[in-house]
Chains A and B, each alone.
Chain A
């Protein structure tokens, strides 16, 4: 079986304005991101022959990718809407890479956007997102998305002695990164005490343990490594990718405290021929603070059960040995729903091009980005690098 390692690269990347962006529909944000990413890559829209989008909760469209293509007046030969929740972003990149290597398309635009903040009420957004629960055997009991993740947090606390203070370190770390990012929705530094003093949403998760509700769009251009080298931007190569899918409903998870990030990470590391210690930074899925802690463990950055102590060393903060969520993550940069992890991908591209300004990780060569969807259900790990050899 041929490996995807080093065969494709990200040649363009762009975000729209994020946070509270009234007056822009999800489709408009999606197209705006797409056009900006094309401009970044130095490509004309007519050169796009593959398109991947994800559906928008605020504007569901049955043939979403086709609708975006029509709006842009592009006519791809590969066109797909994906939906694996927050893991969508990187499974889409996995598909795009495979499509390029197998000749289904040469230049694939991945663009995603939603408008949860400005185009839906809070209650609509909450209900839409909690629809991940089983309609007969979970949803009627009234679990919110924070409550689903709280079940994981409580189990981790009981099994490993993890504390709310340790979960809070994730929020503090993300905010410290966001303070260095002029595009982030929330930039005022916070402390562990601030997190613990914020309103309880679903025990043990406080308001500041929960990601933002945002508007925004983000896009990347994926093409062959060979072609990317002829384009204006330094290519960011795909070195490894792996997926793991363990369940959909949290009540069916084989483990509450160990996730399929373990499998997705092992596959990605094996393809890249790299390990956790080779990563200069990591972007981990932070819909709620406990997910980062569990991912740090399952992706091998620390031992199982040691995530809390690892976070308390400050390693994930700016200047630490493993900066995590250098843009501020979904806890502080923005979180427009399913596209949330796209912003971790575009940020990784800028970090590896070394154009991330004040928040640049010095000498960044290699990065791990990870996203999951559902309730720690559907995981994809990506390893990116400046060099493909």
Chain B
């Protein structure tokens, strides 16, 4: 069994292309300047349809997390860490926090994006806890 891989559509293709190049991109509304995630055809803030892809800082903080002790399938090796990350630009996204002692993770702790190739075509944005950072 393989890991569950995202299947990009036309709309999300720039996001996944950016991940392959080591950048996290978000949609920003040209009308109201708000960021949104996941990508949509319109701005959920003002309804505008002029959305541009901009490179995000890649920094955020942990809104919540859990250590998965029983993996979803044989393709995943438990334990692994699922997190909701509040990006500095505003939007929240789900991700993994990698290469970390679970004791070092707490809600509010600062994280930064990194990228891991999961297949020839798919690179996933994941997060690492920033060194020396502690929970708010």
Given A141-B82, A203-B67 in contact, is the A136-B72 Cβ separation under 8 Å? no
> Which segment, of B27-35, B45-53, B93-101, faces chain A?
B93-101
How far is it, in angstroms, between the C-alpha of A153 and the C-alpha of B84 when the chains are bound?
13
Is B115 an interface position by the 8 A CB rule? no
A-B contacts, 8 listed (Cβ < 8 Å): A138-B94, A140-B118, A141-B95, A142-B3, A143-B72, A143-B82, A154-B66, A256-B84
CB distance from A163 to the nearest CB of B (A): 15
Residue from B6, B66, B73 with most neighbouring chain A CB atoms (10 Å): B66
Q: Which of A136, A141, A146, A249 has the most CB of B within 10 A?
A: A141
Determine the main DSSP class of B at the interface with A: loop
Taking A141-B94, A142-B3 as given, write out 15 further A-B residue pairs in contact, using a Cβ cutoff of 8 Å, ordered by the A residue number.
Answer: A123-B73, A134-B38, A136-B7, A140-B122, A140-B124, A142-B72, A144-B71, A151-B84, A153-B66, A155-B64, A199-B69, A201-B69, A202-B69, A203-B67, A205-B66
> What residues make up the interface of B, taking CB atoms closer than 8 Å to A?
3-8, 12, 37-38, 63-74, 76, 80, 82, 84, 92-96, 102, 106-108, 118, 122, 124
Question: Residues on A close to B: CB < 8 A?
Answer: 123, 126-127, 130, 133-144, 146-147, 150-155, 158, 199-205, 249-252, 256
For B122, list chain A residues within 8 Å (CB). 140
| Complex: chain B residue closest to A130, CB-CB | B72
Contact A151 B65 (CB under 8 A): yes
Chain A CB within 10 Å, residue with most, of B8, B63, B70, B118:
B70
B12, B71, B74, B84: which contacts A136 (Cβ < 8 A)? B12
Most buried by B among A135, A151, A155: A151
Q: What CA separation (Å) do A155 and B108 show in the bound complex?
A: 10
Residue contact A142 to B71, C-beta cutoff 8 Å: yes
Q: B82 contacts A137, CB within 8 Å? A: no
Alpha-carbon distance A176/B67, docked complex (angstroms): 29
Q: Which residues from chain A contact B107 at a C-beta distance below 8 Å?
A: 154-155, 158
Q: Do A147 and B66 contact each other (CB < 8 Å), given the known contacts A123-B74, A137-B93, A141-B96? A: yes
Q: Is the CB of B93 within 8 A of A151?
A: no
Q: Is the CB of B66 within 8 A of A150?
A: yes
Residues of B within 8 Å of A256, CB to CB, are 63-64, 84
- Among A123, A135, A204, the residue within 8 A (CB) of B7 is A135
Give the 4 A-B residue pairs with the shortest CB-CB distance, closest first.
A150-B66, A136-B6, A158-B107, A142-B76
Say how far A137's CB is from chain B's closest CB, in angstroms.
Answer: 5
For residue A158, which residues in chain B have a CB less than 8 angstroms away from its CB? 64, 106-108
CB proximity of B129 to chain A, nearest CB, Å = 15
Contacts of A155 in B (CB 8 A): 63-64, 107
* Contact status A202-B38, CB under 8 Å: no
Known contacts: A136-B38, A137-B6, A154-B64. The answer to whether A200 contacts B72 by CB under 8 A is: no
Query: What is the bound-complex CA distance between A205 and B65, given in angstroms?
Result: 12
| Distance, CA A347 to CA B120, complexed state (A) | 53
How close is A178's CB to chain B, nearest CB, in angstroms? 24
Knowing A137-B93, A251-B92, the reply to whether A144 touches B38 (Cβ < 8 A) is no
> How far does the alpha carbon of A252 sit from the alpha carbon of B94 in the complex, in Å?
9
Contacts A140-B4, A142-B3, A151-B65: A202 and B70 contacting too (C-beta < 8 A)? Answer: yes
Give the docked Cα–Cα distance between A79 and B76 (Å): 41
Minimum CB–CB distance from A295 to chain B (whole Å) comes to 19
For B71, list chain A residues within 8 Å (CB). 142, 144
